[in-house]
Amino acid sequence: MFVKLSTQAIEILEGLKKEETKSVKQFTEEGFDQSTVNRAGLELEENSLVKIEEEEEIVYELTIEGQEIIENGSPEHQLIQRLKNGAKQISELQDLNIDVALGKARSKNWIKIEEGEAYLTDQGRENLGTDQIRIRLENQDYAEEDIERGLVRQETKKLRRLILSEEGKKIDLEELVEEFNVEAHTETPKTGKKHFYKEVTDYARTTWLEMGFEEMSGDFVVPSLLNFDALYTPQDHPARELHDTFFLKTPEKADISEYGDKIDHIKQTHQDGWTTGSKGYKTEWNEEEAAKNILRTHTTAVSARRLHEIDVNKEELPKKLFIVGRNFRNETVDRTHLAGFIQTDGIVVGEKLNFKNLKGYISEFFERMGYEKFRIIPAYYPYTEMSAEVQVWDEEDGSWLGAGGAGLFRPEVVKPLLGFEATVLAWGLGVPRIAMKAADIEDIRELYRNDIEILEETPIWRPDK
């Protein structure tokens, strides 16, 4: 009796001849491609040489929270360690993952909080020694509560097992006739690939270029003057507080003398409106404060700098400018927050521009990025008037998604920087949600973790995908 089989099926059968039964996983561990083994298995089953059984296996995988515990210990244990030598103000503990730490430590009765101060209970003191959760995670000896808490992900995987049939046992490998199987999968080669988030931001960059925009660039370290004051943000604005903005120890201050008279114009604009037609904030304005270096909190700081340069270089208007760049916020990093983010800013500077044009550019951009529906709703930014929040319609989720802000720069911004009045359409938009959807990730930190499997398996993003 001669049986026709594909090369791949013959290889699998040879492998089974020795051990009679083997799981698909075992084959893949030996270097076989998973889909090849599955197909070969089916082919062998059709020829009654093999029986396929399905079994379920529960696999556990650490989440980012879980990995962090292995690295640094659980938040509640870190907290009690810090309270070892006495009570501490909650405000002194902000560097910890404080909400989780307080919540867990309280529910375990390890700490008490009184008048904004946390201190250890006797029970807390008893638990100073070992961090049970960390040990469990390290030993992969997971408890139900670890899963509930989201430290470990539990997944049920279907496993296939190939078992040689009586016929299969009897068959003589010599009797097999090799036949090439064009339907079978082979192994996918390892290749180079761009990062999925950069694919999206590259696409945004190309879109602006296609729309005729000129690219801008700028440094991460900027004086507060550009990030805030020139953008008509008062010096006592909450965004300028320590918990929102990274101020610098080195280099602490900038030399802002290159802005010359403009510093004085900005100062006057804040105080009484200068010649912009505004009444101003009527608040104190301190040049020292404006010279403080920070990490830019938005790429709009680059747009502000560029307005100044248009004046310095006596460039002709109108002008369309854009940047895709990184920005920084002093935030606690978790599933939904990062201390850095990518934003695309654009400005159009000219005489004959209006609010309809602003909506026109944004609508064109998002259409090219694959969003059919978008809307703007009123919002507030200190530096724009007719301020708008931009939202795009997410077809998959059936909801509006925040995608950034837009508006016309106020005269209080334009005149001091540019030296004369002009209309400036401006926006700052974000695309991380697009990248997260492309890679099917829910934890925003995955954008920066660079897990090989996600880097390799994520399809290259394009707008209609």
Please list every residue from 203 through 242 that binds another protein, using CB under 8 A.
205, 208-217, 219-223, 236, 238, 242
* Cα–Cα distance measured from residue 121 to residue 123, given in angstroms and rounded to the nearest whole number: 5
CB 204 within 8 A of CB 340: no
Nearer to another protein, 49 or 324 (CB): 324
Contacts of 264 (CB under 8 A, 6+ apart): none
Contacts of 453 (CB under 8 A, 6+ apart): none
* Cα–Cα distance measured from residue 146 to residue 228, given in angstroms and rounded to the nearest whole number: 44
* Cα–Cα distance measured from residue 168 to residue 47, given in angstroms and rounded to the nearest whole number: 9
Site for another protein in 426-455 (CB under 8 A): 447-453, 455
Query: Residue 376 interacts with another protein (CB under 8 A)?
Result: yes
Q: How far is the CB of 212 from another protein (least distance, A)?
A: 5
* Cα–Cα distance measured from residue 403 to residue 390, given in angstroms and rounded to the nearest whole number: 5
Query: Residue 397 interacts with another protein (CB under 8 A)?
Result: no
Q: How far is the CB of 44 from another protein (least distance, A)?
A: 27
**Binds another protein by CB under 8 A, chosen from 35, 60, 268, 360:** 360
Site string for another protein, 50-89 (x = CB under 8 A): ----------------------------------------
Q: How far is the CB of 24 from another protein (least distance, A)?
A: 17
Q: Which single residue is written with the structure tokens 């946390």?
A: 118
Q: Which of 335, 460, 353 is nearest to 406 (CA)?
A: 353
Q: What are the two backbone dihedrals, phi and then psi, of residue 176, each rounded to the nearest 5 degrees?
A: -80, 140
Structure tokens at 366: 């998002």
Site for another protein in 400-419 (CB under 8 A): 408, 410-412
Q: How far is the CB of 10 from another protein (least distance, A)?
A: 26
Query: Residue 190 interacts with another protein (CB under 8 A)?
Result: yes
**Binds another protein by CB under 8 A, chosen from 82, 112, 185, 195:** 195
Query: Residue 359 interacts with another protein (CB under 8 A)?
Result: yes
SS3 155: strand
* Cα–Cα distance measured from residue 463 to residue 365, given in angstroms and rounded to the nearest whole number: 11
* Cα–Cα distance measured from residue 221 to residue 326, given in angstroms and rounded to the nearest whole number: 11
Q: Which of 250, 256, 258 is nearest to 229 (CA)?
A: 256
Nearer to another protein, 182 or 242 (CB): 242
**Binds another protein by CB under 8 A, chosen from 46, 179, 364, 397:** 364
Site string for another protein, 312-351 (x = CB under 8 A): ------xxx-----x-x-xxxx-----xx-------x-x-
Nearer to another protein, 80 or 256 (CB): 256
Listed as own residue / partner, the contacts of 182-186 with beta carbons closer than 8 Å and 24 or more positions apart are 183/39, 184/6, 184/8, 184/36, 184/39, 184/40, 185/33, 185/35, 185/36, 185/39, 186/33, 186/36
Query: Residue 175 interacts with another protein (CB under 8 A)?
Result: no
Site for another protein in 122-161 (CB under 8 A): none
Nearer to another protein, 9 or 294 (CB): 294
**Binds another protein by CB under 8 A, chosen from 357, 370, 441, 443:** 357
Structure tokens at 139: 């030993």
Q: How far is the CB of 395 from another protein (least distance, A)?
A: 19
Query: Residue 252 interacts with another protein (CB under 8 A)?
Result: yes
Q: Applying CB under 8 A, which part among 8-16, 77-85, 166-174, 244-252 lies near another protein?
A: 244-252
Site string for another protein, 271-300 (x = CB under 8 A): --x--xxxxxxxx---------x-x-----
* Cα–Cα distance measured from residue 55 to residue 211, given in angstroms and rounded to the nearest whole number: 55
Dihedral over Cα of 139, 145, 147, 151: its sign:
negative
